[in-house]
Amino acid sequence: MTLNWTIGSVQEALRAGTISARELTQDFYARIAQRNPELNAYLALSPERAYAQADRVDAALASGEPLRPLSGVAIAIKDVISTKGIRTTCGSRILEHYTPVYSATAVERLTEAGAVVLGKTNCDEFAMGSSNENSAYGAVRNPVALDRVPGGSSGGSAAAVAAGLAVVALGTDTGGSVRQPGACCGIPALMPTYGRVSRYGLIAFASSLDRIGTFARTVADSAVVMSVIAGHDANDSTSAPIPAPDYVAELQKPVRGLRIGVPEEYFGPGLDPEVRSKVEAGIVLLERLGCRRIPLRMPHTDYAIAAYYLIATAEASSNLARFDGVRYGLRVPGATLRDMYGKTRQRGFGAEVKRRIMLGTYALSAGYYDAYYLRAQKVRTLIAQDFAEAFEKVDAIVTPTAPTPAFKLGERTSDPLQMYLADIFTVTGSLAGIPGISIPCGNSSRGLPVGMQIFGPHFSEGRVMQLAHAFENAGGFSN
């Protein structure tokens, strides 16, 4: 079987009758059985549901019904997104035996569109990490280079798509957790505007930052998935009441004449020289496609990691208070209620989650709130203003996705701060609420993928994908 299925080729094969949805699903599970022991990309498989859905697709085809946008398309779902009846652990021991009683809106919409959910993918615990090494269920290996991390926190979703263990996958991005693993694994990875995709059923890490995003083998596939999952949802009060455009149609718009901002602050001394040269070459390719390069200054970029790690941890300390051994998940018995809380959370949470809960609790505590949390929220305003001012002059902003290609497993686990710096170019867009995509722009001399990031103004994911699509078609990912 080919490893390179796209939504288009799946649907063409189904229409031509060269393969059925059931056979396709069987092929994916066979491939997962072969590769997953090594990659550890999937934490749970849902074959019963997948085959039932595949059979519905085959029956619909047999009765002459038209295909839906994702009919028969094998999809993987990050394990922080709720799936009714399928174990959902968030990569944490505290939810080891948790099975949601409802599905996320995004999952419902995918299923209605005909997608076949293969299973749940590994991730850093509660999406907190940049390497997938914070999963309670073991690290994921990068399919491109097995001794390296796949990035994080959506490492399992990125690895699954890159290794051909799913056609597309959902991830979540709070500070870079879709874009950075996309860069590490060499596939397009889209974070839409905050509020564009419902967060209903996404188990919260940092509510003002969390977004559901996509992994795919092509930008065109990202556009199909985004068209299905985007749009208002009454169950998420932060969901934007703006109808989703047809992103597939938007891909065809010409990129000639678009103004591309290149902010100097993203090309400083910390940037790996090979990443710099690949992204520079990517910008030149965009210029050849008729885009106009405009140098930019975004003076608050260097403060983004500091602001992000205060805001995200503050929100996490509040959101994760719900894991207390009462309503779901692990309970460790204790003599009193407080005793039970303390023991349950100590045993259930891993080191990074505890570190972030404590940092966030500290930043919000009496006497420190103004110095840490409030100050970070003000700096968030300054970073959002940098983007707002830039978008008066440019249509999109191009940067590296991450300062280095995928690093080695174990290389950064002893130094949390060093790990945080992997997100230095992605957290800015997270704080500003704007959309961003990481698109492969070549490989390092060791054969490791390099990602180029394209940001656009709020609700411009169509334009962001349009640029990435033109770049991809122009051969931007080849060396």
Partner 1 sequence: MKISREDVLRVAELAHLELPPTEVDTYREQLDSILTYVAKLEELDDSKVEPMAQVLFGAQGDAHPELREDQLAPCTIADDVLSGAPDAVKPFFRVPKVIDR
**Contacts with partner 1 in 294-353 (CB under 8 A)?**
300, 302-303, 305-307, 309-310, 317, 321, 324-331, 333-343, 345-346, 349
Catalytic-residue membership of 153: yes
Nearer to partner 1, 267 or 328 (CB): 328
Contact between residue 401 and residue 177 where contact means Cβ atoms under 8 Å apart: no
Smallest Cα–Cα separation from 399: which of 446, 365, 361, 450?
Answer: 450
The catalytic residue among 78, 130, 131, 198 is 78
Interface with partner 1 in residues 63-102 (CB under 8 A): 98-99, 101-102
Shortest Å distance, C-beta 320 to partner 1 = 9
Nearer to partner 1, 359 or 441 (CB): 359
Residues 347, 142, 305, 402, Cα dihedral to 10° = 180
- Residue 465 is encoded by which pair of tokens? 């994908």
Contact between residue 457 and residue 391 where contact means Cβ atoms under 8 Å apart: yes
Contact between residue 199 and residue 164 where contact means Cβ atoms under 8 Å apart: no
Catalytic-residue membership of 177: yes
Length of the chain: 479
Phi and psi at residue 218, in whole multiples of 5°? -135, 155
Interface with partner 1 in residues 133-192 (CB under 8 A): none
Q: Token match 């959506």: residue?
A: 154
Shortest Å distance, C-beta 2 to partner 1 = 39
Smallest Cα–Cα separation from 320: which of 340, 279, 348, 339?
Answer: 348
* x/- map, 410-439, partner 1, by CB under 8 A: ------xx--x----------x-x------
Catalytic-residue membership of 253: no
Cross-strand partners of 168? 75, 216
The catalytic residue among 20, 103, 154, 177 is 177
Shortest Å distance, C-beta 333 to partner 1 = 8
Q: Token match 């957790």: residue?
A: 177
Answer for which of 182, 195, 440, 451 binds partner 1 (CB under 8 A) is 195
The catalytic residue among 153, 157, 227, 239 is 153
Shortest Å distance, C-beta 427 to partner 1 = 13
The count of other CB atoms within 10 Å of the CB of residue 472 is 18
Nearer to partner 1, 253 or 343 (CB): 343
Q: CA–CA separation, 456 vs 460, rounded Å?
A: 6
- Residue 476 is encoded by which pair of tokens? 């931007």
Terminal Cα distance for the chain, rounded: 27
Q: CA–CA separation, 394 vs 433, rounded Å?
A: 17
* x/- map, 349-388, partner 1, by CB under 8 A: x----xx-xxx-xx--x------x-xxxxxxxxx-x----
Nearer to partner 1, 378 or 408 (CB): 378
Shortest Å distance, C-beta 460 to partner 1 = 10
Interface with partner 1 in residues 202-241 (CB under 8 A): 208, 234, 237-238, 240-241
Shortest Å distance, C-beta 411 to partner 1 = 17
| Structural Rg of the chain based on CA atoms | 21
Nearer to partner 1, 290 or 368 (CB): 368
Residues forming the active site: 78, 153, 177
